Amino acid sequence: MIGVFDSGHGGLTVMRELVRRFPHREFVYLGDHAHAPYGDKSGSEIIGLTADACGRLFEMGCEMVILACNTATAAAARPLQEGWLHQQWPGKKLLGIIAPTVEAATQTPWHVKEPVFPQKFNTDTIALFATRVTVNSGVYGTEIHKRCPRVRVVSQACPKLVPLLESGAPRPEIQAAVEEYVAELIGSLDAAPEWAILGCTHYPLVADLFRAALPAQTRMLDQPKVVANALEDYLERHPLPESRGRVRYYTTGNSADVERVATMLLGESLGFERLL
């Protein structure tokens, strides 16, 4: 059984792709809606909340948990992997989503920590849209520059987007926020970026709005598909038993409210239950 964790609804974009790609595997989703959003919380808060949520998923029987949240990955993945996981849950796996996204952006395996041919001559500009925590961590720029030192990563924090999406705000209000953030980033550049990374799993929920606001020549990296590709590769190297394809959705918040927003965002009922 594989757990998928996010601070709220954003991880559903990853969950949807994983369920589509692996129909014979059992997935459990947990959204920490009671404490969302994570984007403006301190690193220690995010580490504590992420550990609590992942612990609940491991208690349910998950062999692996995917942090389908860039903010949680940026702030908590490494500290939890290096200490808490081995001490509290030996034998379990905790995977973030920034590593496979960097691999896709640089076309370089994660274990390669220095420039190689031909990627070291790449001079693209990458636009990163993310939460304040992810932007301030600098993790995308740092890891991309290790592999592609000539690539320019330009980051734009989008603090209004997750609260708008989590509250089920009207689409015109969300569109205005997306257009504001894209215009701010594009206005800082001399030319259109070659690539855009939506570095928060909430943002693919409005990928069409980003696509409309970005220059036509800017290509968008599909993070949910990147994560699914990475999981497929991981499972080939570290097989887990397949199951009957059962899928469950849990929240730490009000299940009726969470289900209402999820249905509005994804266009389908998921049957969220409150995790007590």
**Does residue 158 carry a catalytic annotation?**
no
- Beta strand segments in the chain, E: 2-6, 27-31, 64-67, 93-95, 125-130, 152-157, 195-198, 219-221, 247-251, 273-274
Which one of the listed residues 62, 69, 148, 158 is annotated catalytic?
A: 69
Residue 206 to residue 178: CA distance in whole angstroms: 9
Residue 207, classified by CB atoms within 10 Å of its CB into exposed (0-12), middle (13-18) or buried (19+), is middle
Peptide bond into 239 cis (omega under 30): no
195-198 β-sheet, strand order:
152-157, 125-130, 195-198, 219-221
2-6 β-sheet, strand order:
93-95, 64-67, 2-6, 27-31, 247-251, 273-274
* Residues belonging to the active site: 69, 200
